[in-house]
Structure 1
Amino acid sequence: MTAAQADLQIDRPSVADGAALWRIAKDSKALDLNSSYSYLLWCRDFAATSAVARDEHGEPVGFITGYVRPDSPGTLLVWQVAVDEAHRGRGLAAALLDGLATRAVAEHGVTTVETTITPGNTASERLFTSFAERRGARLEREVLFDAGLFPDGPHDPEVLYRIGPLSQ
Structure 2
Amino acid sequence: MKKYLPIVLLILVMLTGCNSDSVYTPPYDGKNLVIGVIGNFPKVREDNVKFKKINFNKIEEEKNLSSKFDAIFIMKEHLSEAANNRYAAVYKNSGIPFFFIESKKSYLAFVNEQFSYESAPDLGDPTYATGIYHFGKGKYQYCGYGLYNDKVNENNIKDVYSRIFTTTESGKCY
Same fold (TM over 0.5): no
Q: Please, what TM-score do these two structures have when normalized by structure 1?
A: 0.30
